[in-house]
Structure 1
Amino acid sequence: MGLISLLWGIVAMLWMVVALIPFLGWGNWFLIPFAAIGAVIAAIGIATSRPGQRGRAKTGLALNGVVIVVAILRLGIGGGVI
C-alpha cells in the first residue's frame, strides 16, 4: 500500500504541475478527488503496516496532501471556486 500511495502521489504531483498552466486549471477539479483517493490509500497503508515499514505511505500521504492544498489554492486564486 505504501508504494501504491507513493506512486499515486507522484502522478498527482505531475498532474498538479500541468494544472498550474493557464487555461488548464480545470484539471484541478479532477485532481482533488484523485489525490484524496491517494491519501486514503496512504492512510490505509499507514494503518496496516509495521512501524518500520511506514515511510513510503507517509511520503505518499504528504505528497497527496500537498497536491490537495495547492489545487484548492489554485482554484481559489483562478476563480474556479465561486
Structure 2
Amino acid sequence: MLNIISILIGLLSLVIVIPAQIPLLGWANWIALPFVAVGIIIGQISSSNGGRNFCLVVLLIAAVRLMLGGGVF
C-alpha cells in the first residue's frame, strides 16, 4: 500500500517537474522537491522499491534541471 502511495506522489511530482523543464519555469522544481522527498520517505518505509526508485528518478530530473538553470530559472 505504501508503495502505491509513493508512486502516486511521484506521479504528482512528475506532473509538476515536466512543465518546469521549460525555460523560466524552473522555479516549479522547488515546489516539486518537497513532494518528491515525501515520496522517497514513504517508498523507503514500503516493502517494495518501485515507488522509491521512481521518486528518485523524478528527483534526479528536477535536480539536473535546477543545476543547469542555476537554481532559479
Fold match (TM-score > 0.5): yes
Shorter-chain TM-score: which interval?
A: 0.7 to 0.9
Q: Which of the pair has more CA radius of gyration? A: 1
Letter of the 1:8 partner, please give it. Answer: I
Structure 1 stretches (4+) deviating beyond 3 angstroms? none
Equivalences for residues 3-82 of structure 1 within 5 A: 3-46=4-47, 54=48, 58-80=49-71
After superposition, the CA RMSD in angstroms is: 1.3
Q: Which residues of structure 1 form unaligned runs of 5+?
A: 47-53
Q: Which residues of structure 2 form unaligned runs of 5+?
A: none
Q: TM-score, normalised by structure 2?
A: 0.85
Identity between Structure 1 and Structure 2 (%): 39
How far is the alpha carbon of 1:30 from its aligned partner? 1.6
- The alignment partner of 2:66 has SS state of helix
